[in-house]
């Protein structure tokens, strides 16, 4: 039995890409090299919350692309949705990546997800802080 078949037989969770980002679009990344990556996960208890979250990220990405000078400092990576197995409400986790290209900008903004502006956004979306996790890691290469 192959590993893929083994996981499928176990009803392993499936991630579905819902938005493209700099890691799925070579032209968008260009010659920039990320120094740091962040992964942000948003647990959404139902489909409506997940849709609001994805739509807000899509709108944020659109606004970012209107500010090309910021794209030199950071960019969104692809966004995925992983359905919660057995959730009749259609809940699951939205997984967003961030690519940081500038060290000082990362140092200054790494905790922006926890700031007052983002907290208002989460409240509007219906995602409490305890349903959000952000991890950062440095890239070696």
Percent of the chain with pLDDT over 90: 66
Identify which has the larger pLDDT, 112 or 132: 132
Give residue-wise pLDDT tens across range 66-87.
887 777 899 999 999 999 988 8
pLDDT at 113: 85
User: Are the C-beta atoms of 72 and 29 separated by less than 8 Å?
Assistant: no
Give residue-wise pLDDT tens across range 91-125.
999 999 999 999 999 999 888 888 888 889 999 99
Task: Scan for tokens 């083994």, then name that residue.
Answer: 6
The pair phi, psi for residue 89, each rounded to 5°, is -85, -5
Q: Considering the entire predicted model, what is its pTM? A: 0.85
Q: Which structural domains are found in the chain, ordered by start?
A: 14-138 (3.30.70)
Q: Are strands 90-100 and 36-46 parallel, antiparallel or unpaired?
A: antiparallel
Per-residue burial over 78-101, b = 16 or more CB atoms within 10 Å of its CB, e = otherwise: bbbbbbbeeeeeebbbbbbbbbbb
């Amino acid at each position: 039995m192959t590993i893929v078949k083994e996981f499928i037989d176990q009803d392993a969770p499936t991630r579905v890409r819902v938005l493209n980002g700099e890691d799925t679009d070579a032209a968008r990344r260009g010659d920039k090299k990320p120094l740091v990556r962040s992964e942000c996960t948003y647990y959404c208890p139902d489909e409506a919350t997940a849709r609001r979250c994805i739509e807000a990220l899509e709108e944020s990405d659109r606004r970012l692309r209107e500010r090309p000078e910021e794209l030199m400092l950071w960019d969104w990576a692809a966004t995925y949705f992983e359905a919660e197995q057995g959730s009749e409400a259609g809940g699951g986790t939205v997984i967003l990546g961030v690519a940081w290209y500038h060290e000082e900008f990362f140092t200054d903004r790494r905790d922006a997800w926890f700031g007052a502006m983002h907290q208002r956004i989460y409240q509007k979306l219906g995602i409490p802080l305890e349903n959000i996790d952000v991890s950062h890691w440095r890239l070696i290469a």
